[in-house]
Amino acid sequence: MNTKKAATDYPILPILAERWSPYGFENRPMLETDLCSLFEAARWAASSYNEQPWNYLVATRENSAEFGRLLSCLVEANQAWAKEAPVLVLGIVSLRFGRNNQDNRAAVHDLGLAAGNLLAEATTRGLSVHQMIGILPDKARELYQIPEHFEAWTALAIGYKADPAKLPDALRERDMALRQRKPLNKFVFTGRWGHPMPLASKSAI
């Protein structure tokens, strides 16, 4: 099976190089203990003022009604492949600080930090996560009675990645595509915008 391990320019942790977001998932349930460990990893993410502004709504395929309800909160294009994942999750963020009800400009950033922890933990357990911004926040609010100042921001499909050779043509092409990233000198600057940090311009060791 294609692992798509990143060909990095500089050494990084193996779990970061091995992580990628498949479109194909095996028809194989996850252990409840593994799922809890993913959210435990998210729980210990850093956050501004330790606000921990993340919340999650979870549905597994074992509960078809709940799974279908959460699936309906995804845009149609994402529903087409995410329906095969054993677990779907909505990532919900509190946009105000609980301590003073002021706007929390770091909230979405902190939801991302929690997601990063979750992805790293999943990778160590042989699991894969595909994150999606293609969701229907208003529908999620209505179906789940999400309170004011909270917002559904992302969705996650979690499970065991499928062998791309077994996928339909369109999904197989996506999962077999080469992984690409901008080089450091395109986004690490110093002195002024667009001026690469000197070290980022050098060849990797």
The mean pLDDT value for 16-43 works out to: 96
Q: Which among 179, 159, 4 has a CA at the least distance from the CA of 87?
A: 159
Domain ranges in the chain are: 21-178
The amino acid at 76: E
Residue 202's pLDDT is what? 63
Q: Lowest mean pLDDT: which of 25-34, 64-73, 113-122, 161-170?
A: 161-170
Residue 105 has pLDDT above 50, yes or no: yes
Q: Which residues contact 103 (CB under 8 A, 6 or more apart)?
A: 95, 96, 97
Range in 54-58, 82-86, 197-201 the model is least confident about: 197-201
What are φ and ψ of residue 135, in 5° steps? -130, 175
* pLDDT for residue 157: 98
DSSP string, 4-43: -----SS---HHHHH----S-B-S-PPPHHHHHHHHHHHH
- Say if residues 133 and 79 touch (Cβ distance below 8 Å): no
Residue 4 or 96, more confident: 96
Q: How far apart are CA 3 and CA 97, in angstroms?
A: 40
CB 57, CB 70: distance < 8 Å: yes
Mean pLDDT of 105-127: 98
Task: State percent of the chain over pLDDT 70.
Answer: 97
Per-residue pLDDT for 135 more than 50? yes
Scored b (16 or more CB within 10 A) or e, 180-197 reads eeeebeeeeeeeeeeebe
- Amino acid identity of 9? D
| pLDDT for the residue numbered 169 | 87
Cα 86 to Cα 185: distance, rounded to the nearest angstrom: 39
pLDDT value of residue 168: 86
Mean pLDDT across the chain, nearest whole number?
A: 94
The pLDDT value given to residue 200? 72
3-state SS class at 50: helix
- Taking residues 28-56, report their average pLDDT: 97
Using alpha carbons, list the distances in angstroms from residue 48 to 7, 94, 110, 117, 175.
33, 12, 7, 16, 35
Give pLDDT, residue 205: 44
pLDDT at 70 over 70: yes
User: Is pLDDT at 49 greater than 60 in this prediction?
Assistant: yes
* pTM recorded for the entire structure: 0.93
Yes or no: domain 21-178 corresponds to CATH 3.40.50.720: no
pLDDT value, residue 167:
87
